C-alpha cells in the first residue's frame, strides 16, 4: 500500500496567506518608518513661503486658495494650449531649439506671475492684520520652524 500524504485544507491555506500578508505589512511599515525617520534624515521646516501660508488660520488659507484657483482657471486653459504647443514643437521636423526655449521661458514667466499674484494676495492679507494678529501669526510661523527634529530655524 502506498502512503498518501495529508493535504492542507483550504482554511489553513487562507490563514497562512493572511499571516504572510500581515507579516509583510508589518515589515514594510517598519522599513518605511526607519527610512523616513532613521539616522541621517534631516527633517527641516517647510520653506518660508509655505510656512507663511501654513501659519495662517484655516479660513484665511481657504480664502487665499479660492482667489488663487479663480485666477488660475485662465492659466489652466493657457496651460492646456501650451501643452499642445509643446507637443507640436517636439514633433516638428526639424526640431527648433530656439522656439522650444522661447516657449519654456513663456511658461516660466506664467509661473512667476502666478507666484507674484499669490505673494501680493498674502501681503495684502498680512497688511490688513492688526498688530496683535500679526504677532500671533509670527508666533505660529516660528512654531512651524520648531517642529524640525534636527535643525530648528535660527534668527
pLDDT digits (tens, 9 = 90+) for 11-56: 888 999 999 999 999 999 999 888 877 776 655 666 777 888 888 8
pLDDT digits (tens, 9 = 90+) for 123-148: 888 999 999 999 998 898 888 777 65
Q: Could you tell me the three cell numbers for 144?
A: 512651524
The stretch 59-83 carries a mean pLDDT of: 76
Which of 33-37, 72-76, 116-120 is least confident? 72-76
CA–CA gap between residue 35 and residue 16 (Å, rounded): 28
The pLDDT assigned to 154 comes to 47
The pLDDT assigned to 2 comes to 52
- Per cent of the chain over pLDDT 70 is 77
Residue ranges in 5-150 assigned as alpha helix (H)? 10-37, 48-54, 58-91, 97-127, 131-146
Predicted TM-score (pTM) of the model is 0.53
Per-residue confidence band for 108, with pLDDT thresholds at 50, 70 and 90: confident
**Burial class of residue 5 in the structure, from the number of CB atoms within 10 Å of its CB (0-12 exposed, 13-18 middle, 19+ buried):** exposed
Per-residue confidence band for 74, with pLDDT thresholds at 50, 70 and 90: low
The pLDDT assigned to 130 comes to 92
Amino acid at each position: 500500500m502506498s502512503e498518501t500524504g495529508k493535504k492542507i485544507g483550504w482554511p489553513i491555506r487562507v490563514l497562512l496567506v493572511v499571516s504572510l500578508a500581515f507579516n509583510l505589512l508589518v515589515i514594510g511599515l517598519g522599513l518605511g518608518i526607519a527610512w523616513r525617520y532613521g539616522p541621517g534624515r534631516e527633517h527641516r521646516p517647510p520653506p518660508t513661503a509655505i510656512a507663511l501660508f501654513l501659519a495662517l488660520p484655516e479660513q484665511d488659507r481657504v480664502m487665499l486658495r479660492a482667489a488663487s484657483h479663480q485666477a488660475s482657471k485662465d492659466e489652466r486653459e493657457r496651460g492646456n494650449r501650451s501643452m499642445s504647443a509643446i507637443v507640436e514643437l517636439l514633433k516638428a521636423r526639424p526640431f527648433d531649439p530656439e522656439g522650444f526655449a522661447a516657449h519654456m521661458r513663456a511658461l516660466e514667466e506664467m509661473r512667476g506671475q502666478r507666484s507674484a499674484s499669490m505673494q501680493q494676495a498674502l501681503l495684502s492679507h498680512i497688511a490688513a492684520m492688526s498688530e496683535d494678529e500679526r504677532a500671533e501669526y509670527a508666533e505660529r510661523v516660528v512654531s512651524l520652524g520648531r517642529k524640525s527634529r534636527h535643525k530648528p530655524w535660527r534668527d
